[in-house]
């Protein structure tokens, strides 16, 4: 069994096109895991190892996070390459949930982009310490110092260079290691031979200045280093590494590495940084909720001898059935062991245990705290916790964003129905942001997701992997309804038909929850004096919950609503759960129209970057789409425009932006918030909905 202090669980995440997959490919090559380098959009048609799906290779983007493991020296590294595209944000959430450290990859020309900000926010959410790797130092316009400034200004990091490039753009020769104060050159086939030399004379002053800054930042985390810094004495290598590590683990410092993965420069020094500065599993606090003790928080220890706790963080339907990726937090699991799924108390046997290398599997006999492995034949959902039944705890689940776009889909012919259903079942299990529902009125199957690309990829996967042709309706935006003011209700439900009748009265009010409320619905029971008996309160809650499923404006779910009940009446014979549920449902509908209901639409944060000469047309296009410009930034002949635009206006935008910028403009978009639609548009939408309903009758 591996020594836990020699394990690193790391993720590589960044904005789309910053070179994450290329970097993962180089890491695998230098650690001897693969013997030839293939590019993401390579001419050889093989594609990068970590992009194992055909679709990923064709589009040159990562869709699923891929897991692999490798060794560097006598250290074991579990590596997860995550997608950069915002539509696959749940893949990043999933990976960060189970990782101990991360590498934030930034492009030395584009710097901190919108998706880098999102990824950074996710890292903070799960307290993941990180290193920064400024990639593409060989590109024209490369400026690592400006990127480090952006790390400080845009992301509030405390960056310090640990390596710095020797030459930039076409002259990138190697890097300076500021801890050892030497020059590192990468030679031989694929840059795998390392040659150490003296720092070039013309860069000596720069190197001294950057090392001084590195010691200054690290000294904050070590008193003896601080003394040496103030006395102008040079610390030993071990002292400096220990202080940088301390700063990194507390997330108060970000060590910055430079290089070019594509040109095979700077990757090995980054790997040394991963070993030196990122935590091993025992240095990270992992909490679980004790199910036998009122969900009290319990800190797990990375001890192989303690009771087993592991989390299923990703599911994949492979050739041999469901493959479940697991992170072992505590204890040991052996092939053949019985484990219990805490979500449903089902016991399962571990038939096969493997380590994943992208889409290859390597069988193992056992795994222990700190390992990331995969199991076969274990039926569960993403986010389930497994134990050996000696402990009943659940890991806190990850944050899952709500879908914002929907499409009506159907198989082209009846024969494809079975495969179509199989595909949808599998994808909803694998991806918590992909939802499927049936529209009762039209009988259509509706799929919902995080963006056009997200759904497009799944439709393409149904075609390829399940050999089923599909007809697709027009994309629709996931609108919501909400109330804008308080409204009272007092509703009596009575029904008298032969035998016992139904009777229930509920009184109270509904009011809007604040915009930043975490939950969309809050039920407050203010009943005093037993005017509604205790046993009927849950039925009232059920009735209100059913009522908010569909608002009366355009039939969409109602959000941000608090319902308070403070009065009611009951009948000794005719009152029942059913009567109170119906009374609550009708009371809500009655109060809803008085609470000035509004329609909310998803607003996207849009970042467009294009050559400066297109600034006018880019802004013009955003204005036409009801967008609000938040800011523009000009740099190196490029302009970046940040804005907030309603999603409903964004269909077909990718074609439009390409045509007005001669194909040179690119954009990224992510969900920002829900916001009321303008009054005139709301009126039109309500009219259209009523017309549709009338036709449907």
Instruction: Show the CA angle centred on residue 201, arms to residues 196 and 202, nearest 5°.
Output: 120
Rounded Cα–Cα distance for residues 266 and 132 (Å): 12
- State the pLDDT at residue 368: 86
Check whether 55 has a pLDDT greater than 50.
no
pLDDT score of 397 more than 60: no
Residues 6+ apart with CB under 8 A from 308: 328, 330, 331, 332, 333, 337, 339, 386, 387, 388, 390, 391
Q: What number is the average pLDDT over the span 585-601?
A: 92
pLDDT grade for 45, boundaries at 50, 70 and 90:
very low
pLDDT of residue 657: 83
Question: How far is the C-alpha of 619 from the C-alpha of 617, rounded, in Å?
Answer: 5
**Which CA distances in Å does 19 have to 15, 83, 84, 470?**
9, 11, 10, 33
**Which tens digits make up the pLDDT trace of 459-487?**
888 888 888 888 888 778 888 999 999 99
Residue 564 has pLDDT above 90, yes or no: yes
Residue matched to tokens 């038909």: 497
Q: How far apart are CA 299 and CA 521, in angstroms?
A: 31
Residue 584 has pLDDT above 90, yes or no: yes
How many angstroms from the chain centroid is the CA of residue 667? 19
- Would you state the pLDDT for residue 92? 62
Mean pLDDT of 13-28: 74
Residues 6 or more apart whose Cβ sits within 8 Å of residue 110 = 15, 18, 609
Residue-wise pLDDT tens digits, 405-451: 888 888 888 888 888 888 888 888 777 788 888 876 667 888 888 77
pLDDT digits (tens, 9 = 90+) for 654-673: 778 878 887 777 777 778 88
Residue 215: how many CB atoms within 10 A of its CB? 23
Mean pLDDT of the 217-228 span: 88
The reported pLDDT for the residue numbered 145 is: 92
Assess whether pLDDT exceeds 50 at residue 63: no
Lowest mean pLDDT among 104-108, 404-408, 416-420, 534-538: 404-408
Whether the predicted pLDDT of 105 surpasses 50: yes
> Does residue 30 carry a pLDDT above 50?
yes
Collect all residues with Cβ–Cβ distance below 8 Å to 459 and sequence separation of at least 6.
407, 409, 470, 472
For residue 644, is pLDDT > 90?
yes
pLDDT of 94 reads 64
pLDDT for residue 470:
86
When pLDDT is averaged across residues 262-276 and rounded to a whole number, the result is 89
Q: How confident is the model at residue 60 (pLDDT cuts 50, 70, 90)?
A: very low
pLDDT at 398 over 60: no
Q: With contact defined as beta carbons under 8 Å apart, do 282 and 370 qualify?
A: yes
Q: Which two tokens stand for residue 113?
A: 């982009």
Residue the block writes with tokens 């290398």: 357
- CB–CB of 549/594 below 8 Å? no
DSSP string, 167-191: S-GGG--EEEETTTTEEEEEESGGG
Q: Quick one: what percent of the chain has pLDDT higher than 70? A: 88
166 CB neighbour count, 10 Å cutoff = 23
Kindly tell me if the per-residue pLDDT of 588 is higher than 90: yes
Name the percent of the chain lying above pLDDT 90.
22
Q: What's the mean per-residue pLDDT of the chain?
A: 82
Least confident window among 39-43, 328-332, 509-513, 580-584: 39-43
For residue 38, what pLDDT is reported? Answer: 52
Q: Where is mean pLDDT largest: 30-34, 515-519, 654-658?
A: 654-658
From the list 555, 650, 550, the residue with the least C-alpha distance to 602 is: 650
**pLDDT band at 31, cuts 50/70/90?**
confident
Burial of 498 (0-12, 13-18, 19+ CB in 10 A): exposed
Least-confidence region, from 13-22, 71-80, 502-511, 606-615: 13-22
pTM equals 0.69
CB 445 within 8 A of CB 495: no
């Amino acid at each position: 069994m591996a020594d836990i202090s020699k394990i690193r669980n790391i993720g590589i995440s960044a904005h789309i096109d910053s070179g994450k997959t290329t970097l993962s490919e180089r890491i695998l090559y230098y650690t001897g895991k693969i013997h030839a380098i293939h590019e993401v959009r390579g001419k050889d048609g093989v594609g990068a190892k970590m992009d194992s799906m055909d679709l990923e290779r064709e589009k040159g983007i990562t869709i699923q996070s891929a897991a692999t493991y490798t060794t560097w020296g006598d250290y074991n590294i579990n590596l997860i390459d995550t997608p950069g595209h915002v539509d696959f944000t749940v893949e990043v959430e999933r990976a960060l949930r189970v990782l101990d450290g991360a590498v934030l990859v930034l492009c030395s020309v584009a710097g901190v982009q919108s998706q880098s900000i999102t990824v950074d926010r996710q890292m903070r959410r799960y307290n993941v310490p990180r290193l920064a790797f400024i990639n593409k130092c060989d590109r024209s316009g490369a400026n690592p110092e400006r990127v480090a400034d952006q790390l400080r200004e845009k992301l509030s990091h405390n960056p310090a260079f640990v390596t710095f490039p020797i030459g930039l753009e076409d002259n990138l020769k190697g890097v300076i290691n500021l801890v050892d104060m030497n020059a590192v050159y990468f030679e031989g086939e694929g840059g795998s031979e390392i040659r150490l030399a003296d720092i070039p004379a013309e860069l000596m002053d720069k190197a001294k200045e950057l090392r001084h800054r590195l010691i200054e930042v690290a000294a904050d985390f070590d008193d003896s280093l601080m003394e040496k810094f103030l006395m102008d004495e040079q610390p030993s290598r071990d002292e400096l590494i220990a202080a940088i590590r301390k700063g990194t683990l507390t997330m108060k410092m970000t060590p910055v590495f430079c290089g070019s993965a594509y040109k095979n420069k700077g990757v090995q020094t980054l790997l040394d940084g991963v070993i030196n500065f990122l935590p091993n599993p025992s240095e990270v606090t992992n909490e679980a909720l004790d199910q036998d003790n009122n969900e009290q928080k319990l800190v797990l220890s990375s001890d192989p001898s303690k009771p087993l706790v592991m989390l299923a963080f990703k599911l994949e339907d492979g050739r041999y059935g469901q493959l479940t990726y697991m992170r072992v937090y505590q204890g040991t699991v052996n092939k053949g062991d019985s484990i219990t799924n805490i979500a449903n108390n089902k016991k399962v046997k571990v038939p096969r245990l493997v380590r994943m290398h992208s889409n290859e599997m390597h069988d193992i006999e056992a795994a222990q705290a700190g390992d990331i492995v995969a199991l076969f034949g274990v039926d569960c959902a993403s986010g389930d916790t497994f134990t050996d039944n000696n402990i009943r705890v659940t890991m806190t689940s990850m944050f899952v964003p709500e879908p914002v776009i929907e499409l009506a889909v159907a198989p082209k012919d009846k024969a494809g129905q079975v495969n179509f259903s199989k595909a949808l079942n599998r994808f909803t299990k694998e991806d918590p942001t992909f939802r499927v529902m049936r529209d009762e009125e039209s009988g259509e199957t509706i799929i919902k997701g995080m963006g056009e690309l997200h759904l497009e990829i799944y439709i393409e996967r149904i075609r390829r992997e399940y050999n089923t042709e599909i007809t697709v309706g027009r994309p629709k935006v996931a609108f919501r309804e909400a109330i804008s003011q308080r409204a009272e209700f007092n509703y009596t439900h009575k029904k008298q038909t032969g035998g016992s009748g139904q009777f229930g009265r509920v009184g109270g009010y509904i009011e809007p929850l604040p915009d930043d409320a975490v939950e969309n619905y809050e039920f407050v029971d203010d009943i005093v004096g037993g005017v509604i008996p205790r046993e009927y309160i849950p039925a009232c809650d059920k009735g209100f919950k059913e009522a908010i499923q569909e608002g009366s404006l355009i039939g969409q779910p109602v959000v941000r609503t608090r319902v308070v009940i403070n009065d009611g009446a009951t009948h000794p014979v005719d009152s029942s759960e059913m009567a109170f549920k119906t009374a609550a449902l009708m009371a809500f509908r009655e109060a809803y129209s008085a609470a000035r209901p509004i329609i909310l639409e998803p607003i996207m944060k849009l970042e467009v970057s294009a050559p400066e000469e297109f600034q006018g047309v880019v802004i013009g296009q955003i204005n036409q789409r009801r967008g609000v410009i938040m800011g523009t930034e000009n740099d190196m002949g490029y302009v970046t425009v940040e804005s907030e635009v309603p999603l409903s206006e964004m269909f077909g935008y990718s074609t439009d932006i390409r045509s007005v910028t001669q194909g040179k403009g690119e954009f990224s978009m992510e969900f920002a918030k829900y916001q009321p639609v303008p009054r005139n548009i709301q009126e039109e939408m309500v009219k259209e909905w009523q017309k549709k309903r009338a036709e449907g009758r």
